[in-house]
Amino acid sequence: GIQVEQSPPDLILQEGANSTLRCNFSDSVNNLQWFHQNPWGQLINLFYIPSGTKQNGRLSATTVATERYSLLYISSSQTTDSGVYFCAVDTYNQGGKLIFGQGTELSVKP
Amino acid sequence: EAGVAQSPRYKIIEKRQSVAFWCNPISGHATLYWYQQILGQGPKLLIQFQNNGVVDDSQLPKDRFSAERLKGVDSTLKIQPAKLEDSAVYLCASSSTRTMTSEVGRVRTVIKQYFGPGTRLTVT
């Protein structure tokens, strides 16, 4: 089946710093999503981004489907950005089943 | 709009005991998913329902896990008997589906999954 790999596995930032998280996937996908899991375990969808670039405030994401990777950019990080960031893909004709990467654990220090 | 509800939020049991989790999806969502998230890993799909029928249960350990969605709304996931390695967070999600057409005319199905807060199970 499709493999999803994220890097780095963990990241420590000082408040105000910028960061880039990467997601590689091994096959073509119907859709790619970025999630943030807060310290209480709630998964929140950040972006649906099968291709192209999207921006939402301090966050932006770019997916290059032909090269099978996606990047999540966090600018001017805040302590509330802490948590685990997951990349998840669903493939064609799989009814929406999500395959998750292992996540990047981000810790933003004040 | 109410989100996906799950209960209980936390459960501690001894190995070989049984446990059940409950999920109430977002109203109108036909598809319901149960995921298992072991500490330090991403969620893994256990079972997917479309209304009250099973779409995918290929990764459900059927010797000890069972799930049902009898009326196509609420769902329960049961573990009997539990093992130490079942310690995890069990996430329920539900989804709506819409079709989008891109600028170049490509049709893509967007399936938005909304996740509940999860049930944290500890097996001792």
- pLDDT tens for residues A31-70? 899 999 988 888 999 999 989 999 999 999 999 999 999 9
Q: Which of B97, B108, B120 sits opposite A50 (nearest CB)?
A: B108
| Closest CA in chain B for residue A85 | B42
| Closest CA in chain B for residue A5 | B42
What separation in angstroms does the CA of A48 have from each of A63, A109, B55, B84, B112?
10, 28, 23, 35, 9
What separation in angstroms does the CA of B91 have from each of A59, A63, A79, B59, B108?
25, 26, 25, 15, 26
Which DSSP helix (H) or strand (E) runs through A95? none
CB B24 within 8 A of CB B73: yes
DSSP-derived letter for residue A58 is: T
CB B48 within 8 A of CB B33: yes
pLDDT digits (tens, 9 = 90+) for B79-113: 999 999 999 999 999 987 766 655 566 666 677 88
Q: By percentage, how much of chain A surpasses pLDDT 70? A: 97
Q: Which residues of chain B have pLDDT under 70?
A: 1, 98-109
3-state secondary structure of B84: helix
Q: Do A41 and B45 touch (CB under 8 A)?
A: no
